[in-house]
Amino acid sequence: MFELFAIVAVLTAAGSTAYFSVSLLHQNEAISSHELTQTATPLVVAAFLLVFVSVFARLPGSLMRVLTLLPLAIAGAVIAALLAGSTWSSGPENASLVALAMLAVGALVGVAAWLVDRLDLGWERRTEQRRLSRIYAAGYTSAEKAPRFALPEADATSSTGELACWEKKDRSYLDLPAWLRLRGEAGSRWRALSAGEARPPRAAPILTEVKVGLRIPGSQSPPTVRVSLLEPGRDSEPRMREVRANEDGLFDVTDLGIV
């Protein structure tokens, strides 16, 4: 999606440059250096958008980490656009100064993004440590259990492996990281099946989809997970079950029968 936006932005900028060039040629008048600088402005903005969108699309980390860096990225985009717009009032003799100013601002924004990224990594680590301490203090114990559902098989020896879960008073729970891993595994298996690179599931129930609800920062509502299961020979379509996190941030999956 991000790459598509970058391609459209570059093509639009190139088309704008071509349009301005043809319009100037059709005026049958001498083209000034200032007009040539104006014509190149869309390509300057497009080059920034291409780099910005490509880098931001590959930003590692969680959604919260991306949202943390988003204001800084937007600020960098606005500054670069303003500097690119300054070429409309600059001639070729000032082009080197404008280019140096854009490089300097880009370097400053890059350093600031790196610092924010480092600080946010430390915040994520401390948050995860506090979360685990709170779960252990509430009386939960960690465990690994074999999954009781089936997924498409990529090869003869492929298996989902044991699921990391939590136990308390004969109840089984999954935390949000476990759901995210399970969502990624299920998505990749079904994509492989659709591409002819995997075999259909051979057991029941069949896990068809995992949807993890997006939790808005500051919201008091607990996160939710939707699980779709299919019982061959009994269900004509997958049955969707919704699970809400408890006060400890864990999801009770005992009644789902998936572990």
- Domain ranges within the chain, ordered by starting residue: 2-132, 139-252
Give this prediction's pTM.
Answer: 0.57
**What is the gyration radius of the CA atoms in the chain, in angstroms?**
27
Q: What is the pLDDT of residues 185-234, one digit of tens each?
A: 999 999 999 988 888 988 888 999 999 986 665 666 788 999 999 998 88
**CA angle (70, 212, 67) in 5-degree steps:** 5
Give dist(CA 136, CA 61) in Å, integer.
25
Residue 1's pLDDT is what? 47
Residue 134's pLDDT is what? 92
Residue 162's pLDDT is what? 84
Give dist(CA 253, CA 259) in Å, integer.
8
Tokens matching residue 75: 């600020």
Place of tokens 């070429």: 87
Report the pLDDT averaged over residues 23-36: 65
Q: Which has more confidence, 111 or 210?
A: 210
The winner for highest mean pLDDT among 4-8, 75-79, 159-163 is 159-163
The winner for highest mean pLDDT among 55-64, 88-97, 154-163 is 154-163
Report the pLDDT averaged over residues 55-63: 55
Among 256, 238, 229, which Cα is nearest to 165's?
Answer: 256
